[in-house]
Amino acid sequence: MKLEGRAVLPAHWSALPPEEHPGDSGTSFWRTLEMGQLRARVVDYSAGFRADHWCERGHVMIVLEGSLTLALADGRRFELVRGDGFMLPDDAGNPHAASSEGGARVFIVD
């Protein structure tokens, strides 16, 4: 949902329609609020999800449920579980891709 101006609304995530985003395997479902260049999402990753691309966009995220693996193009991997957070800068120097063996719910701001 795109918001105009400087509107401030409560985020009733369950009321937002999920958008399906298939990966190389599995699927993610995004519930998104956007205002200008700010985007906030609750993303549900299915079990067996693996991203189909390397992302260069910066993110601030926290895992709400399950577990998520973030792989950076330089070979580093980060295993995140419920309550873990992660920040990535918005640049081409940190391409990353997400995967989840058992599924996850993640809150992401970018």
Structure tokens at 100: 């989840």
Please say whether the beta carbons of 79 and 71 come within 8 A: no
**pLDDT-based confidence at residue 21 (cuts at 50, 70, 90):** very high
CATH number for the domain whose boundaries are 18-109: 2.60.120.10
Structure tokens at 20: 């399906």
Q: What is the pLDDT of residue 36?
A: 81
Q: What is the pLDDT of residues 51-102, one digit of tens each?
A: 999 999 889 999 999 999 999 999 999 999 999 999 988 877 789 999 999 9
Name the CA radius of gyration of the chain, rounded: 14
Asked if pLDDT for residue 27 goes beyond 80, the answer is yes
Q: Which regions of the chain does DSSP assign to beta strands (E)?
A: 2-3, 19-22, 27-35, 38-45, 49-50, 59-72, 77-81, 85-88, 96-100, 104-109
**pLDDT-based confidence at residue 6 (cuts at 50, 70, 90):** low
Kindly report the pTM of this predicted structure.
Answer: 0.88
